[in-house]
A and B are shown apart, each in its own frame.
Chain A
């Protein structure tokens, strides 16, 4: 029981930490009229905090894993909102599909190409399990 209670308190504490970072992020984003969404500012601040702190508290790791294990559930309600914009999809599906497929293919290619080129330039060649074997 005691372990369960401590775990519960830790989780609650770290959920509070996440909300507090979001809150500070929202305040900074709105206050400075940044185009960055508040939660993204909060994420950046938490990342910097962890870098400065130099380690990751176990409770924060567990709490985040719990929250992120069902991350994709969280954007279902917003996704359903697409029903109000069916006319956009119906009228512009050709432009949207071509843009999605071509742009995604280009992004894969440019990003991988940059990685290969830059690792080659810096002499950081892949080794061991970094190489795909056919």
Chain B
């Protein structure tokens, strides 16, 4: 019986089916916990799924490549999903057309602050070049940030985790900072949330104001585009 079970495990551990299935299960477990916790940003479903899966792989002594052979079917959809971001970007753009130049200028300031301050602080504290390059696109939505990290020589999977942590930090401390400086304009609050904390900031903005949500969604998309264009130029100049 044990021998039979072992054979089944040997078979499954080499097949893509297992990696794919546990990815979907872990993500849904994360979503369930997130919903139970009333959408508290600290209970981020992706972070929960990653922790569950890393734990599972370590306990079963499965290497990442074996897991990824199954999970790559999910990973592949990142490309078309990134292209699809053009659709909400267009919808939001139509709503805020008159304010667009002001929004774009603000996002350029935000993008420069996000990348330069992250690189500068980590560099002063002795971080390695791989970390600096992975950290640089941290405020950009994950699918674009991972592409940027790959293009500039960072570690895309480290970037994915840093992006999620940035989103959580932004959603948790952002509203407090904006209140402290008495910024009451929902448009400014939304653009700040989307630029600094991408989709997680946008989800937070949508919970409190439709105006902030729309501006945040637009800022997320534009900041992704702006950072993808500007960061490689900036790094070429810095390194």
Taking Cβ atoms with an 8 Å cutoff, the residues of A that contact B are: 15, 18-19, 21-22, 25, 35-40, 42-44, 46-47, 50-51, 56, 60-61, 63-65, 67-68, 70-85, 88-89, 92, 94-96, 98-116, 118-119, 122, 124, 126, 129-132
Contact = CB atoms under 8 A, between A and B. Distances in A.
Contacts of A100: 118, 135, 138, 162, 165-166, 169
B144 A40 contact: yes
Given A64-B88, A126-B186, A131-B186, A82 B161 contact: yes
B54 A80 contact: yes
Contacts of B130: 88
Given A82-B54, A83-B64, A122-B102, A88 B83 contact: no
A74 B106 CA distance: 29
A102 B106 contact: no
Contacts, number: 336
A75 B160 contact: yes
A21 B79 CA distance: 10
Interface stretch (B2-10, B35-43, B172-180): B172-180
B170 A80 contact: no
Main secondary structure of the interface of A (DSSP, over half): helix
A72 B74 CA distance: 11
A39 B144 CA distance: 8
Given A88-B131, A111-B109, A118-B102, 18 more contacts: A19-B79, A40-B225, A43-B85, A50-B87, A73-B49, A78-B78, A79-B49, A82-B54, A100-B165, A103-B114, A103-B138, A104-B197, A112-B178, A119-B185, A126-B184, A126-B187, A130-B185, A131-B185
